[in-house]
């Protein structure tokens, strides 16, 4: 497991995300670095990244939030846990601070959007259940093959553990969806893999999902040089990762599979998901060349997300 290093954060704990679809909201990252060690993690390119095997924990994060909230002229509408780390890191000090912050925000009627690849502890499940309609959880899961999961996300929760989390959340009435991100071409976007995933998600009570393909930066390319049976990331990426997007999310350049490949696959996967009663959303943040839609939910007071009949805008199809 990663080494947890406690530090004091000087700046505000509530920040504005750089992702265009979340820029009007706030985010909280309790740590710099993540214990999951996912091979594709884009946060490895951040200046705040502490290095492999290390996690910086902002030990004063709860105190900072207690100071910041009263100073806000306008109460935060939505707080996202988290854009660059795993909120439910398996460390009691981190989990204690996280619980305190979530409890505080919920008691101030702030809507929480949570993204995780972990088994959520029981006390958090009960906290969410006490605030119906104020919590939306996106559980990251791209495959039902735990060997593939272990290859790409070595220290994250197992497939079985994440499905347990999904079932527990849906049974409690917590708004829950799957985050099928990042899809890996020719490995996790095959019919066999995606049908298996949708079958498991359907049985766990999932009715909505958001999907995106892996994008590449220099920082995460090297760690992805892996093989699984006849599939090779290096061989696949040389053939398919030919498309470049400049100024991605306000800065930097990424490589991604071509728009034609993504369009065809997304529409096909949307059909598979629909066969299992799951609506599949797509986000412009990772597909600015395909859509202007958003895969993140809106707080209930803004109205429920409208049913998506197509992944793409009509102007994008021209």
Residue 293: strand, helix, or coil:
coil
User: In angstroms, what is the C-alpha Rg of the chain?
Assistant: 19
Residue pair 257/241 in contact (Cβ under 8 Å)? The answer is yes
Q: What is the pTM of this model?
A: 0.91
Residues in the chain predicted with pLDDT less than 70, given as ranges, are 1, 20, 45, 247, 249-251, 299-318
CA 221 to chain centre: 19
**pLDDT at residue 191, rounded to an integer:** 98
Q: Does residue 209 sit in helix, strand or coil?
A: strand
8 Å CB contact between 275 and 285: no
Q: Hey, which residues does 177 pair with through a beta bridge?
A: 138
State residue 251's pLDDT score.
64
How big is the chain, counted in residues? 318
CATH of the structural domain 3-300, one choice from 3.30.360.10, 3.40.50.1000, 3.30.70.2190, 3.20.20.70: 3.20.20.70
- The angle that helices 122-129 and 159-171 make with each other, rounded to 10 degrees, is 30
Each domain of the chain, given as residue ranges in start order, spans: 3-300
């Amino acid at each position: 497991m990663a080494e947890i290093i406690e530090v004091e954060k000087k700046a505000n704990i509530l920040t504005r995300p750089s992702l265009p679809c979340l820029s009007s909201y706030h985010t909280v990252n309790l740590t710099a670095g993540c214990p999951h060690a996912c091979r594709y993690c884009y946060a490895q390119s951040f200046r705040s990244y502490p290095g492999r095997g290390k996690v910086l924990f902002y030990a004063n994060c709860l105190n900072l939030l207690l100071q910041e909230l009263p100073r806000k002229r306008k109460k935060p509408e939505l707080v996202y846990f988290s854009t660059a780390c795993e909120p439910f890191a398996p460390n009691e000090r981190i989990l204690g601070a996280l619980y305190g912050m979530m409890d505080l925000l919920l008691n101030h009627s702030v809507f929480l959007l949570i993204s995780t690849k972990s088994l959520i502890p029981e006390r958090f499940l009960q906290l969410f259940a006490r605030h119906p309609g104020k919590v939306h959880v996106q559980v990251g899961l791209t495959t039902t093959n735990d060997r593939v999961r272990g290859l790409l996300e070595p220290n994250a929760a197992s497939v079985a553990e994440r499905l347990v989390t999904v079932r527990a959340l849906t049974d409690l009435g917590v708004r829950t969806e799957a985050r099928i991100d990042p899809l890996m071409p020719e490995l996790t976007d095959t019919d066999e893999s995606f049908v298996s995933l949708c079958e498991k998600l359907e049985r766990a009570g999932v009715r909505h999902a958001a999907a995106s393909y892996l994008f590449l930066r220099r920082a995460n390319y090297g760690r992805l040089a892996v093989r699984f049976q006849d599939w090779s990331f290096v061989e696949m990426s040389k053939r398919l990762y030919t498309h470049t997007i400049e100024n991605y999310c306000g800065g930097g350049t990424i490589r991604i599979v071509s728009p034609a490949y993504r369009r065809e696959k997304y529409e096909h996967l949307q059909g598979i998901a629909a066969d299992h009663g799951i609506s599949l959303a797509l986000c412009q943040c990772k597909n600015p060349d395909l859509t202007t839609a958003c895969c993140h939910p809106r707080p209930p007071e803004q109205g429920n997300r409208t049913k998506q009949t197509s992944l793409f805008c009509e102007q994008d199809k021209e």
